[in-house]
Each structure stands twice: as structure tokens, then as C-alpha cells.
Chain A
Amino acid sequence: MELGTVLSIILLAPLVSAGLIWMFARQRAALAMTLSLGAAGVILLCSGWLFFGLWDGASYEVSTEWLTLGSFKLSVGFLLNDLSALMLFIVAFVGFWIHLFSVGYMNDDGARGRFFGGLSIFMFSMLGIVLADNLFMMFIFWELVGFSSYMLIGHYLHTDEAAQAAKKAFIVNRVGDFGFLIGIIITYWTFGTVSLTELEQAAGIRPEAVTTLMGLLLFCGVLGKSAQMPLHVWLPDAMAGPTPISALIHAATMVAAGVYFLGRSFFLFTEEALHIVAWVGVVTAVSAALWAFAQRDIKKILAYSTLSQLGYMVAGFGLGTLYGLHHAGDAQTALYYGIGASMFHLTTHAFFKALLFLGSGSVIHACHHEQDIFKMGGLYKTMPLTTLTFAAGVIAIAGVPFIAAGFFSKDAILYVAKSTSAPAFYLLTGTALLTALYMGRLFFIAFLGKPKSKAAEKAHESPWTIVLPLAVLAVFSIGGGYLILYPPSLQVLIHDWVPHPHGADHQLMIIISAVASIVGLVLARVIYGAGAKTDKLETTLPPVYAISKSRFYFDEIYLLYIRKVQDRLADIIGFLDTLVISGVLVRGTAGAAGLLGIVARRLHTGSVSTYVWWFFVGLVLFGAYAGGFLEGILK
């Protein structure tokens, strides 16, 4: 079979599944589950076939025209190269295991048809982003993942929280898309094309046509989708959705789409734009790590950690590409260092963050939807497998040298940071320490010590559909830094594009990572203690805790804007619309006509003699006009 056919099957399988679920399986949960899982399986098998034989690693592109309006032509097509292949692997692999997990996790949910349909729609949209060969097509699927995210966050219809979170996620993403679409349109009118390969050539020939504004507008889309400051507010709220959704969409794949997009279009960013991109990433990474300390909800902690890691990736892209631009002579692929650094971290992050979320899901499932870590504790006895795999995830995210995937990928980012910008390097290193600290806090309080609630006492190990994905992902979280685990066709990117420190730098990186991760974890154990009942930070250092808890007042400021500015403005304009246009102008005209009517009515007495008098007056006037007597008066 041809490559294009296989890619079509990969893209369309989930769409077909979603359509079938919508038509036939809304009330039949088992069928919906089978269809959705089957689609995920087809994706995994087809992409496996792709990586282990069908695809030779060369860039492959195919497209067909979709819409013509005058000179505006829009096409859809696939572009399979190293970058999209890696992303396809992540989506297919992580996606499949999360589908399997969902089967176990959602077994008592009443609306599984809707859930699995949504999951399939999401897979379709996400694969569309991955395979898209031009910016407009990417934008289309960009919006579609936003829609599926909206639908799945709002899965628990009856809670107000879910409704608000879903709405917020969609609208905040729309704000990002506002800039994104302008950026795409500017790109189109500048280069006359939106095809990624043509754009790369064009930008190579006319580097002066690439402007900072263009890059920053495109970056707006990333701000929304990858939840970078200041559009990060939706991601923590999105935890109102079911846990598998948080794992798949809000940790492993969709939020990473922004980073992926940066990699796909890196040639559209000028140096200034890259500096801004990098700093947005750094600031997000640090702030989110700080905020994680004041959270008690296990999923919220993971959400802030996701924000922080996404910041890492974005910073890695900016710093790495800058590094590549400045050290282009070092290696043939130096220009791709940004992509390599960010994508490698994206890959390992997808493994360990999916693992952590699924682990938290297993805990929540076992504790009857208790999410407060201070009400858990002692889970290592009742849920040994979950605890073990969760520990693997903690080690991976903390970046313990050599035994954690996170070590290798974080290493690459820190290395380019060190070579590009010293302040960014210090901040990111600090973030690494903070990451180990808050992840240690979560693990020690929730899993060790004694149970602190009835729910935690009665917890029991989850069924195999939940534990198997955990085990698989744990293996990849630990070993994900080693090439051996990846299909041969994907190794090119990870091997050649990821910057590797050499010599003294190499040792320095190992020391930094070791210190940051181990000190962080040990400190967490010392400060918080196993199975603590209260938050040590809150009791001993209230001001620090308050800063962390404030989350720098982003939500409050936005809320203030919505309440005091936007809604006020809407009310005022609505009022003016009613008063001025509808009231004064329209009704005013009607009133004037009515007034004229009242005056004219006075002339109608209803008596014949009056009318005869009027007739007489008219006759005289007519005669006068006909006789030419009136001309003098009229002039």
C-alpha cells in the first residue's frame, strides 16, 4: 500500500469511529468503547507499520486542492518528515494506552458514548495537526482540537466547574487563535503560499521577508494552545475534566501541539522573536513551578507541573534555535537544535506526564474521587503497583541522572540555555530543583505515611486495564532517554538534532541534574515528611505560601476585566443600542410621524361643510396657480 493511503487510514480511522459512535453507540457503552479503542489500535498498528518498514525516512508530501476563491487556493495534504513522524509516534503510542486506561477508568460513567466519541474526535483532530502540510490546514485542526478539548473538559455536565472550565479553555484558546490567524494570513500575503515546505524554501531565499511581528503573531497560537503566560489560565481549570482527558489532551499531546508547531515553522521566527519566545517559556516554567507549591489537589499539582514543563519546551525551542543560529558551524544539524531539544523533552514529558496523570487517575478511582493529597496517605500498602509506577514518574520528571528520561531531555535544554543566556540558565536550573521539590511533596504526602481518610484506607489496586498502561508508560519514562526504545526511523531526530553537551559541559550538566533532582527530593522528604496532615510551608512560612497561592493574580485580573470592563461595556452598548438607535432614532421617527398625524387629524371635523370649505380653498389655490398668481409668492 502507498504511504499516502496509510496516512489517510491513520487520520480517518478515529473520524469514522466517532461518526459510528455518534450514530449507533450513544447509548451502548460497550460498543462505543470497542470502536474508540479499535480506532486507537488501528492508528498504533498503522504507524508501527510506517516506522518499521513502510517509510524510508525521507520527507514525504502529498496534497490536494480543497477550495478556490479567486486567487486564494487552499489545499489539504500530508507532510511526513522526521518531526511529524516523532509526533505521530507519541500521539499514536500514548494515545492508545490512554484509551485502554479509559476503558477501566470510566467503567461507572453514565455517558461513555459521548466520552469515547469525543476521544476519537480528539485523536482525529490531533493527527490532523501532526500531519498537516500547510498552515491553514493546521489552523483548522488547531481549532478542532480546541473543540474536542471543550467537549471533554465539559464531560461532567452537572458541575458548574466543568462548564466554566470548558468555556474558559475554548475562549482563551480563541484569543490565542486571533493572533495565530492574523499571523497565517500575513504569512500568506507575504509569501503567496502557506505550504510548509514552500515556506521553508521561500524564507531561505528571502530571509528579509520574515518579520518579527509575523513570528510573534504565530506564537500567539502557541500561547493559547500550549498554555504559556499570559494565556496559561485555562490549563489548571481544565482539570475539571475526566483524568484520562487530562493525561491525553492536557499533558501529553494537545498542549504539546504548540511546541510542535514551533518546530514545524521555526524558519518563520527572527532572532528577536526567538528571544521573546524563549523568555516567555522561561517565565512560564519558573512561575508555574512556584505556584505548584500551594496546591492540594493532586491533579492541579500535575497541571502546574505541566505548565512548567511546557515552559521548558518553549524555552528550549527558543534558546536552542538561537544557539543553532549562532553556532551554525558546529554541526550540520545545528539549526535544528531548538527543535531537537524541545521535541525530545516533549517526547519524554509525554511519557512521564501521561504516566503521572494516569497514576493519579488510578488513585482517584481507588479513593472514590478524592483528589486532596492531604486526605490520602499510605497508598503504598494498598496500591503497590500504582505507587511503584508513580515513583518512576516522579524520578523521571525530577531528572535523576541516567535512570530517568527527563534527565536527558532537560539536559539538552539546560545546555543550550547555558550557551545562550546565563539568566535563563539559572532560572531553568532553579526550576529543575523546584520541580523535584514539589513532585517529592506530592509523592511523600499522598503515597507514604498513614491513611488520612476513610477513602484512602479502603483504597484497592485498580484493574489490569488501568495498571497495564501504567506499567508500559513507566518503562518508557525510565528508559525514554535511550535510543534503543525508539523505532529506527525516529532515531535520526533524537540522535542528530538534540544538542549534546561535550567534555566539561557534559560533567557540569550531570552534576547540576544530580544535585537538583536528588536535593529536591530529599528536601521534600525532610520538609514535608511522609504522609503529612498539614502543609508545612503554610504553617511555617505563610507569606511564601501566599505568594505561591496567589498565582500572581492572573485569574483575578482576567475576572476583573470580564466583570468590570467587558460585561460592563456590553451592558452599556446594549443599553445605548436600545436607547439611542431603537429608542430615539427609530421610535423617535415613529413618534414624529404620530405627532404629525395628531395635527393633521384636527383638520378632520367629520362635518361635510368643513370639507366643502377645504375644497373651496383648494380650488382657489389651484386657480391661483393655474393663473400664475402664485409664482411671485413661491419665488
Chain B
Amino acid sequence: MTIGLEHYLFVSVLLFAIGFFGVLLRKNTLVVFMCLELMLSAAILALIAFSRYNTTPGAPLMEGNLFVLFIIAIAACEVAVGLAIIVALWRRHQTVELDEITELKH
């Protein structure tokens, strides 16, 4: 069996679904955050796969890879900011459970 584009995409969708439902259902902020990262990874995987399989020999398509680099850079920033927020939340509320944080109201 040759590994084709659809296999990569299947894994990517799976990763994305896991991440998405994690965000939707888990209540711990840290876990939600990791699920977000999972979704980003799914996107990265899909982009690289498209980039690899849509290319004609001799004229490689680099747009997908380019996007991936951007996503990695932004994800790094996001992690930094996100973790800082979580730490700040912990300091303030002594909890990182989402159900107990309702400050977005008002």
C-alpha cells in the first residue's frame, strides 16, 4: 500500500477532531490549551501534505511550507502568551477550571 494524500488528511482530520472536542469538552484550561495546539498541528500536517502532493516535478510548490513556518512562529508566541495568561489566572483565582471562571460577562 502506498501512502497517499488521503492518509495524511485522515490523520490530520483525526488530530483536528480530537483537538476540537477537547476544546469543547474539557474544562481544564491547560488541557484546552494543549488541544488548541493539537488543532494547529493538524493544520500543519494538512498543509505539508498538500504542499507535497500538489507539486509538479521540477517546480516545487512552497506556499504550504511557508504557511507552516508562520504557524510555528505564531504558535510559539501563542504558547508564551497563553501560558502567561494561565499563570496569571491561577494567581488570581487559584483555579484553572473553565467552569469557575465567568469573568467574560459584563
Contacts and interface: CB of A to CB of B under 8 A. Distances in A.
A609 B24 CA distance: 6
Contacts of A605: 102, 105
B104 A607 contact: yes
Interface in B83-106: 98-99, 101-106
A72 interface: no
Interface in A586-615: 604-609, 611-613
Contacts of A612: 23-24
B57 to A, nearest CB: 35
B27 interface: yes
A238 to B, nearest CB: 68
A616 B19 CA distance: 13
B104 A606 contact: yes
Nearest to B21: A616
A606 B102 contact: yes
A609 B98 contact: yes
A613 B102 CA distance: 15
Query: B interface, by DSSP: helix, strand, loop or mixed?
Result: loop
A606 B106 CA distance: 8
Nearest to B29: A608
Contacts of A613: 24
Which of under 10, 10 to 19, 20 to 34, or 35 or more describes the interface residues of A?
A: 10 to 19
Contact of A607 (B23, B98, B106): B98
Interface in B65-92: none
Chain B: number of interface residues, binned into ranges: 10 to 19
A245 B106 CA distance: 72
Nearest to A613: B24
A622 to B, nearest CB: 15
Contacts of A606: 101-106
Looking at chain A's contact residues, the main secondary structure is helix
A607 B102 contact: yes
A457 to B, nearest CB: 88
Contacts of A611: 104
A608 B105 contact: no
B73 to A, nearest CB: 25
B24 A616 contact: yes
Interface string A240-273: 0000000000000000000000000000000000
A616 B105 CA distance: 19
B98 to A, nearest CB: 5
Contacts of A609: 24, 27, 98-99
A204 B27 CA distance: 102
Nearest to A609: B98
Interface string A447-463: 00000000000000000
A607 B101 contact: yes
A472 B77 CA distance: 110
Given A609-B98, A609-B99, A604 B23 contact: no
Interface of B: 23-24, 27, 32, 98-99, 101-106
Interface of A: 604-609, 611-613, 616
Given A604-B104, A606-B106, A607-B104, 20 more contacts: A604-B105, A605-B102, A605-B105, A606-B101, A606-B102, A606-B103, A606-B104, A606-B105, A607-B98, A607-B101, A607-B102, A608-B32, A608-B98, A608-B104, A609-B24, A609-B27, A609-B98, A609-B99, A611-B104, A612-B24
23 contacts: A604-B105, A605-B102, A605-B105, A606-B101, A606-B102, A606-B104, A606-B105, A606-B106, A607-B98, A607-B99, A607-B101, A607-B102, A607-B104, A608-B32, A608-B98, A608-B101, A608-B104, A609-B24, A609-B27, A609-B98, A611-B104, A612-B24, A613-B24
6 A-B pairs with least C-beta separation:
A606-B105, A606-B102, A606-B104, A609-B98, A607-B102, A608-B98
